[in-house]
Amino acid sequence: MVVIGHVDAGKSTLMGHLLYALGQVNKKTLHKYEQESRKIGKQSFVYAWILDETGEERSRGITMDVGQSKFETKTKIVNLLDAPGHKDFIPNMITGATQADVAVLVVDATRGEFETGFESGGQTREHALLVRSLGVSQLAVVVNKLDTVDWNEDRFKEISSKLGVFLKQAGYRDCDVTYVPCSGLAGENLVEKSKQELLSKWYKGPSLYEVIGILFFGCQTISGEKVLVMPQNELALVKGKFILIFPAFRLSKHIHKLYVNGLIDESPVQTAFAGDGVSLTLANYDIQHISVGYILSDSSLPVPVTSKFEARIVVFNISTPITAGYPVVLHSHSLAEQAVVVKLIAQLNKNSGEVIKKRPRCLLKNSNAVVEIETSKPICLELYRETKELGRFMLRVGGVSIAAGLVTKLM
């Protein structure tokens, strides 16, 4: 589950307080954070420090990398990914989003702050659009800091209405989006239903914890095919012979030890399943040599490596048309690579998928097309119809997301 939203919406404080309320953080640790945060004048960030662990994140008061933790509901073990909200760290946010089954979108109900995050230049829209483009279809929207407007019902409805129109346009179904009023700092409506009088007199719905409990987390058939090394399994991982896929070559190796949820101080296991975060050691190989974007694959079904492919893309609300030779940064699974849109093959009807123009000169905003893309280095990709997780990608230029795509042909 990835937590997304505009910078300073209160994501880390919200989820940190939830973890504390669920007993995932003890009182001694929280007391330590209270003392340390008070010393640098950031006592309101005490719960955020549960997930923001680096000194720079704590001193700046913003999340820079994806914070990770886990907790349990009555029916699920939830792997929590707290994504950064600042636009400078969207590549890190994308890395978190590619691993998620569901998302929690946090917005700030404070007057003026929601508008800042939602309007042009804010990250609320881009985050919601990115996770939908990366395959997430279920969204819990947390209207956070509602206590700053005295739990005003009209403000909650106003925000829900504005977001609802946009989310529907972005591809979310109304039935897959749930809105929850909360205060991460005060701890209201996180685990237990709020007893705050101003809120409870009009809100009768579930708490955030209850909403997370009813979200559907995807479950894939175990078939022993391709997996990601870290941090998430896509199918299944069993001790034995695998191929480590590098951008330029393949190396046959055995998994020596396998640990679930990265807990290397605990006993190793024989098998990990879809959704598990894993750490591992390889026989006779220094794992420090492995970089982001490497893939661990079944030796009998090695994942393809390519530097050129065809894809169907959806162009976002861009200001500059895409033409042949257009340079981009391609984000796929945990990888970011320089690339070029080398050829515009066809423009498509966005509803039927039929070709409406072959070899268009350019692609304008909100258009659908088939294009050929070439990366600066070979990367691991799959056809979308065969492995969705390795067949999706995003294109970005100058820190702005311009298109999402699905791999249709490897060349």
Predicted pLDDT at 56: 56
Residue predicted with more confidence, 303 or 314: 314
Computed from CA positions of residues 284, 288, 294, 297, in that sequence, does the dihedral angle turn out positive or negative?
Answer: positive
Q: Could you please state the CATH topology (level 3) that the domain comprising 305-410 is classified under.
A: Elongation Factor Tu (Ef-tu); domain 3 (2.40.30)
pLDDT per residue as tens digits for the range 355-383: 999 999 999 998 999 999 999 998 889 99
CB atoms within 10 A of CB 211: 19
Strands (E), 87-155: 103-108, 139-144
Residue predicted with more confidence, 296 or 229: 296
Inter-residue contact 341 to 315 (CB < 8 Å)? no
* Cα 183 from Cα 313, distance rounded (Å): 38
Mean pLDDT, residues 9-25 taken together: 91
Mean pLDDT, residues 289-293 taken together: 70
Of 3-12, 130-139, 279-288, 352-361, minimum mean pLDDT range: 279-288
Domain with CATH 3.40.50.300 in the chain: 2-214
Secondary structure percentages of the chain, helix, strand, coil, to 5: 25, 30, 40
Question: Does residue 247 carry a pLDDT above 90?
Answer: no
* Cα 187 from Cα 130, distance rounded (Å): 28
pLDDT over 70 for what percent of the chain?
80
- The SS3 assignment for 407 reads strand
Q: What letters, b where the CB count within 10 A reaches 16 and e where it falls short, cover 171-204?
A: ebeeebbbbbbbbbbebbbbeebbebeebeeebe
Question: Does residue 238 carry a pLDDT above 60?
Answer: no
**Residues 6+ away with beta carbon under 8 Å from 162:** 118
* Domain range 2-214, CATH architecture: 3-Layer(aba) Sandwich (3.40)
Predicted pLDDT at 190: 96
Domain with CATH 2.40.30.10 in the chain: 305-410
Residue 137: burial class (beta carbons within 10 Å; 0-12, 13-18, 19+): middle
* Cα 295 from Cα 61, distance rounded (Å): 34
Residue predicted with more confidence, 17 or 272: 17
- Give backbone dihedrals phi and psi of 250, rounded to 5 degrees, phi first: -120, 140
* Cα 285 from Cα 312, distance rounded (Å): 38
